[in-house]
């Protein structure tokens, strides 16, 4: 009697383990796994934008020391930075297309303001040879490249997540278990060269 019960318990355990393995193989965990990848890649996007924002005050002060008359351009950079850092899109609002667009637009305006500052700085040879300025230039170029990579990785992870929800068997698991997890918006290309890092390099 006890042997039969033990056998049945073991049998149930084996069946449950086999079922769990089969379900895992069918992609039951793909949607939450891909969602975590989206969130992780978004965190990297934010980290790189914050890194850029942290460089700007020192950059502005350095340029100001050589080009005080460019106050309008400097002010535009400071204001664009303030707006960009005031908009935050975290994991809880990542599925909000309007919020994501506001964030994207603000970061795009900051990119434009920085590009104009770089052009203006070309007029000042002493500034271009300043060691602090050269170091900031190098850091800014590197950060823009990292932003480009982080954005690309985020876009690819969102595409992977959204595709899983739209196609079989992910569509089935979404309707049965993950219906509260929506399709996610992503960055939109605003120019033909949107996948390339903005040009902040001095000639």
Whole-number pLDDT of residue 92: 83
Least confident of 5-9, 27-31, 92-96, 162-166: 5-9
Q: What would the pLDDT profile of 113-155 be if each residue is shown by its tens digit?
A: 999 999 999 999 999 899 999 999 999 999 999 999 999 999 9
Q: Torsion over CA of 54, 197, 33 and 25, rounded to 10 degrees?
A: -160
How many Cβ atoms from other residues are within 10 Å of residue 159's Cβ?
A: 14
pLDDT exceeds cutoff 80 at 192: no
How far, in whole angstroms, is CA 163 from its chain's centroid?
19
Whole-number pLDDT of residue 27: 81
Structural domains in the chain plus CATH codes: 29-177 (1.20.1440.20)
Tell me the CA end-to-end span of the chain in Å, nearest whole number. Answer: 87
Specify the pTM.
0.81
Q: Over range 162-171, report the average pLDDT.
A: 93
Looking at residue 187, what DSSP letter applies?
P
């Amino acid at each position: 009697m006890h042997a039969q019960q033990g056998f049945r318990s073991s049998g149930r355990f084996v069946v449950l383990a086999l079922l769990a393995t089969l379900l895992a193989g069918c992609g039951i965990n793909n949607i939450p796994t891909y969602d975590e990848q989206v969130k992780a890649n978004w965190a990297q996007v934010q980290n790189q934008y914050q890194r850029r924002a942290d460089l700007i005050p020192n950059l502005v002060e350095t340029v100001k020391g050589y080009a005080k008359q460019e106050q309008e351009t400097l002010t535009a950079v400071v204001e664009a930075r303030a707006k960009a850092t005031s908009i935050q899109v975290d994991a809880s609002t990542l599925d909000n297309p309007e919020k994501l667009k506001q964030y994207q637009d603000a970061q795009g305006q900051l990119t434009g303001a920085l590009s104009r500052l770089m052009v203006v700085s070309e007029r000042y040879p002493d500034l271009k040879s300043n060691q602090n300025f050269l170091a900031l230039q190098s850091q800014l170029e590197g950060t823009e490249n990292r932003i480009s990579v982080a954005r690309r990785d985020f876009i690819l992870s969102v595409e992977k997540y959204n595709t899983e929800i739209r196609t079989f068997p992910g569509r089935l698991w979404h309707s049965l278990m993950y219906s509260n997890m929506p399709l996610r918006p992503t960055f939109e290309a605003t120019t033909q060269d949107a996948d390339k890092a903005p040009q902040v390099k001095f000639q």
